[in-house]
């Protein structure tokens, strides 16, 4: 019987790309947890397989419904769980802090507690990937690469919620022996990246300008940040390799890992690169006050030593290719008549 992986948050960029990776590189069955009203845009290329139940299916549940999570685990009993579902937008979290904390902290606790209770009853013991975020480091000290031992400094309700998520993943591994591990992914992008994130909104605006749907001015927020970038398709490969290593017992319960790109950009350099890929040469850049956060995580440089010692992994997709694919993604979406909000 094929092994089964449950991906919470499968409709997101990373969840959908993890599903793609598993379907392409393994014989595992994939089950994606989603809320019934979520958009399916990132899964349309898989709907024929989903309809045929060809190694992939969907399960409707919500992190804020503990009973639904328990029922899902009893029904599915997955061998692996990659917990990616979250309220994942830092800027939005300033407007909905309570929902962000409820979904990301209490929702994660509900999932892990349901696993713990099943383990006590019948020994159920899946490998559980808990997705934290590099945002846990928040207002980090410039000039010092961030390692797994760097102190946390929440810079948004989102980052504070992910600090809670991070601690929960480690606690349930260390206290109860659940085979958890925690990942803190640095800035990641590529096709399907939501337009609420910096480089994606820039690419989206360039595509809108090229299509004659926006004046030739890109609106941006704070550009003082320096960070590494990586393609999410590289990151999901790391996720899967960590799942395999944990199953083999090569990773202690509750271990945490940074996963980050190794190409460094100041945000104006990202704009310049994307503009160099445009068919237009008259595009200007302007600051939009509505895009500024009350506080920013403006230094995101990482030390990948720990993860590269644990698994045979390194980023393979260049940043230029990632940004090219991102811009082409928005050109394709707009070319299909899907006109996105200017946000």
Residuewise pLDDT in 10s, the chain (343 residues):
899 999 999 999 999 999 999 999 999 999 999 999 999 999 999 999 999 999 999 999 999 999 999 999 999 999 999 999 999 888 889 999 999 999 999 999 999 999 999 999 999 999 999 999 999 998 777 777 889 999 999 889 999 999 999 999 999 999 999 999 999 999 999 999 999 899 999 999 999 999 999 999 999 988 888 889 999 999 999 999 999 999 999 999 999 999 999 999 999 999 999 999 999 999 999 988 777 665 555 667 888 999 999 999 999 999 999 999 999 999 999 999 998 887 7
CA distance 190 to 21: 15
Domains of the chain: 4-189+231-259 (3.40.50.720), 198-226+262-300+317-335 (3.90.25.10)
Residues 6+ apart with CB under 8 A from 237: 21, 313
Q: How far is CA 258 from CA 47, 77, 184, 304, 310, in A?
A: 32, 28, 5, 6, 11
Q: What is the pLDDT of residue 287?
A: 87
Cα 203 to its chain centre, rounded Å, is 19
Q: What is the pLDDT of residue 226?
A: 85
Helix (H, G, I), strand (E, B) or coil at 167: helix
Q: What is the pLDDT of residue 299?
A: 64
For 46, counting Cβ atoms within 10 Å of its Cβ (0-12 exposed, 13-18 middle, 19+ buried), the class is buried
């Amino acid at each position: 019987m094929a092994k089964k992986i449950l991906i919470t948050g499968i409709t997101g960029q990373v969840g959908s790309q993890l599903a793609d990776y598993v379907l392409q590189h393994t014989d595992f069955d994939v089950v994606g947890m989603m809320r019934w009203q979520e958009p399916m845009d990132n899964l349309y290329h898989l709907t024929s397989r989903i309809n045929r139940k060809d190694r992939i299916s969907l399960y409707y549940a919500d992190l804020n419904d503990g009973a639904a999570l328990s029922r899902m685990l009893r029904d599915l009993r997955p061998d692996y769980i990659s917990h990616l579902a979250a309220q994942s937008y830092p800027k939005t979290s300033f407007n909905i802090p309570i929902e962000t904390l409820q979904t990301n902290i209490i929702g994660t606790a509900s999932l892990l507690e349901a696993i713990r209770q099943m383990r006590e009853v019948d020994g159920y013991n899946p490998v559980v990937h808990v997705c934290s975020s590099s945002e846990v480091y928040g207002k980090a000290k410039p000039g010092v690469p961030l390692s797994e031992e760097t102190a946390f400094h929440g810079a948004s309700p989102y980052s504070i919620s992910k600090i809670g998520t991070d601690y929960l993943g480690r606690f349930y591994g260390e206290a109860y022996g659940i085979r958890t591990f925690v990942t803190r992914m640095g800035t990641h992008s590529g096709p399907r990246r939501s337009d609420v994130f910096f480089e994606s909104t820039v690419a989206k605006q360039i595509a809108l300008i090229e299509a004659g749907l926006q004046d030739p001015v890109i609106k941006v927020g704070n550009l003082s940040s320096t960070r590494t970038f990586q393609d999410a398709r590289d990151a999901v490969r790391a996720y899967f390799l960590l799942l395999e290593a944990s199953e083999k017992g090569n990773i202690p319960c509750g271990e945490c890992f940074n996963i980050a790109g190794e190409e460094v950009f100041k945000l104006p350099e990202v704009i310049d690169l994307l503009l160099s890929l445009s068919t237009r040469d008259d595009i200007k850049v302007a600051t939009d006050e509505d895009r500024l956060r009350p506080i920013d995580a403006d230094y995101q440089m990482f030390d990948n030593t720990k993860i590269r010692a644990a698994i045979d992994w390194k980023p393979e997709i260049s940043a230029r290719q990632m940004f090219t694919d991102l811009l082409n993604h928005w050109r394709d979406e707009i070319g299909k008549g899907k006109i996105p909000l200017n946000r």
